[in-house]
Amino acid sequence: MILYVAKRLAQSVVTLFIVVTAVFLLMRLLPVEGYLGERYDKLTAEQREAILQKMGLLDPWYVQIARFYSRLARGDLGTSTIYRKDVPVLEVIAPRVPYSVRFGLVAMALSLLLGLAMGVNMARYTGRFWDRAGTAYIVLIHAVPSAVYLLFLQLYGSSMFKVPVLFDKYKAVSWILPAISMSLGGIAGYAMWMRRFMVDELNKDYIKLARAKGMTNSAIMVKHVMRNAYVPMAQYLPSAILATVSGSIYIESLYSIPGMGGLLVDVIQRQDNPMVQALVLIFSSIGILGLFLGDLLMAIFDPRIKFVKREGAR
């Protein structure tokens, strides 16, 4: 197992290195206005060149990236150039993390509770009302652009439930719509996969044998089908949890939530390149960490998965 973990960890580190390097190089291809901000039009060409030289942006790309990784190793993500001029990126991000984490945990709890329950009922009543209703919901979530139904929920949900349209940290009821909005996609995803895995299990020979022995449907569902269906779900849980906790970029912006997702939209619009680079690094790290943990949990929970090849195996 140690060899397997080391191999997967090395692959994750290499993937993160490639992603971060690509983002770094792409950011260097953007116009320099993102580093000079409103001062750009007020500066002469010589002044711009002097500022860029001081920031190290005129050095060869390999020198810049070596300096970037050296700072990153010390926990330095750079400083903001426009959003909050000359303020360290970590100082800007730190107050926003709790909002993304809190909303993410609430949305994750709703997604797991409702999504898994919906998937189980869809599998138990295949072809009947619950299955058709759940399928309609899943199709709606995946077929309709998220901006459409999220705006619909914000506009009509606020009047229906008598809750604020925008987030207010002093009003607990303003958490309702954003949390529901963040959980809609997760509910559909968990329901779809849970149903699929359970239906696959129900069609296997050992289930037919259990029925032939006289086991009730309830006992078969609890002791065999649901237990085995949860195993492949373990692969998706870490990445889903981490992605949800990191916050939804669009939803945080839609409800004016001061989290990391809304911050990314803001700094992109303002062309604050160091902030964009740091946030992309954070989100990429979260995604890769989720995939790594998913593979690890899959191997731990499913004894049929071998960590290493046996000698002579093809």
Query: DSSP labels for 61-104?
Result: HHHHHHHHHHHHHTT---B-SSTTTT-BHHHHHGGGHHHHHHHH
Helical packing angle, 226-233 and 273-301, nearest 10°: 150
Look at phi and psi of residue 259 and say left if phi exceeds 0, alpha if psi is from -120 to 50, else beta.
beta
Residue 249, pLDDT score: 77
Task: With a cut of 80, say whether residue 160 has pLDDT above it.
Answer: yes
Task: With a cut of 80, say whether residue 240 has pLDDT above it.
Answer: no
Residue 244, pLDDT score: 64
Express each pLDDT in 97-111 by its tens digit.
888 888 888 888 898
Token representation of residue 102: 């809190």
Residue 307, pLDDT score: 52
Token representation of residue 188: 């559909």
Residue 313, pLDDT score: 44
Express each pLDDT in 184-215 by its tens digit.
888 888 898 888 888 888 778 888 788 788 88
Residue 132, pLDDT score: 93
In CATH terms, the fold of domain 95-301 is: MetI-like fold (1.10.3720)
What is the pTM for the complete model shown?
0.74
Mean pLDDT across the stretch 7-24? 85
What residue spans define the domains of the chain?
2-90, 95-301
Grade residue 243 by pLDDT with cuts at 50, 70 and 90: low
State the Cα–Cα distance between residues 57 and 275, nearest whole angstrom.
16
Token representation of residue 185: 């996609």
Token representation of residue 270: 């303002």
Task: With a cut of 80, say whether residue 34 has pLDDT above it.
Answer: no
